[in-house]
């Protein structure tokens, strides 16, 4: 039947240019095959006769064209476990080979690239977890508050892998300030010279406690504070 001839076969050029504007290229597939019956690529074609696989294209100068521009991803927000990394996303205007940041509304016809994504550098292993502190057991003069402390693994189940020396406190003191008596709005000085009543140490009498209530109450609170500190 004669020598089996081999030829270069190629597809149509791609319809889309690699660049939306300015210089780009289109491509096609080229393969050496036998004619008629063969269906597998062969190596018998002359390379110098091989048709071009890439051809240039130009859709016009890049002027007044907008597109989304993304910066590089930043560092992960967590050294271990689940975290988040972000990047800058802005709408830019191409004009005479220059880039100018413009309003995001000018790129609304395009899908906006995400500016954040989850990241995981490595698993954390067992870690100490705590709840919020409870309310203080007393409002003044020393109380305590508590919280739950648990060691959990990566799967959030109980673990024995935490360092006991780093166990967070489960209880602490709170509201250690001295208790002050509530202010009675009806307690006031009737006379302007109540300071003399205090200096004369007359607050021990009920009459002066009533007519010089504010001044005498200060004396009693002061004595109570000194007694508490001792």
Q: Distance between CA 165 and CA 162 in Å, rounded?
A: 9
Q: Distance between CA 71 and CA 187 in Å, rounded?
A: 68
The token pair at 197 is: 């009543």
Q: What is the pLDDT of residues 24-67, one digit of tens each?
A: 899 999 988 876 555 555 556 888 888 999 999 987 777 778 88
Which one, of 147, 143, 144, 145, lies nearest residue 132 by Cα?
147
* Residue showing tokens 């967590």: 78
Is a pLDDT exceeding 90 seen at residue 149? yes
pTM: 0.45
Q: Distance between CA 89 and CA 107 in Å, rounded?
A: 11
pLDDT, position 186:
81
């Amino acid at each position: 039947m004669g020598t089996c001839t081999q030829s270069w076969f190629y597809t149509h050029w791609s319809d889309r240019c690699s660049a939306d504007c300015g210089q780009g290229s289109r491509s096609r597939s080229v393969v050496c095959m036998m004619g008629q019956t063969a269906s597998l690529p062969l190596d018998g074609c002359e390379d110098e006769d091989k048709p071009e696989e890439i051809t240039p294209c130009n859709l016009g100068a890049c002027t007044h064209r907008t597109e989304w521009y993304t910066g590089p991803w930043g560092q992960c927000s967590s050294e271990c476990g689940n975290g988040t990394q972000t990047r800058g996303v802005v709408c830019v205007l191409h004009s005479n080979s220059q880039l100018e940041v413009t309003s995001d509304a000018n790129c609304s016809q395009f899908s906006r690239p995400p500016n954040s994504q989850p990241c995981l550098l490595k698993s954390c292993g067992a870690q100490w977890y705590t709840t919020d502190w409870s309310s203080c057991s007393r409002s003044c003069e020393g109380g305590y508050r508590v919280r739950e402390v648990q060691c959990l693994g990566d799967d959030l189940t109980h673990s024995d892998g935490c360092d006991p020396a780093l166990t967070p406190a489960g209880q602490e003191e709170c509201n250690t300030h001295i208790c002050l008596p509530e202010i009675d709005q009806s307690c006031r000085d009737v006379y302007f010279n109540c300071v003399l009543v205090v200096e004369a140490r007359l607050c021990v009498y009920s009459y002066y406690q009533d007519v010089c209530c504010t001044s005498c109450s200060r004396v009693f609170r002061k004595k109570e504070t000194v007694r508490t500190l001792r």
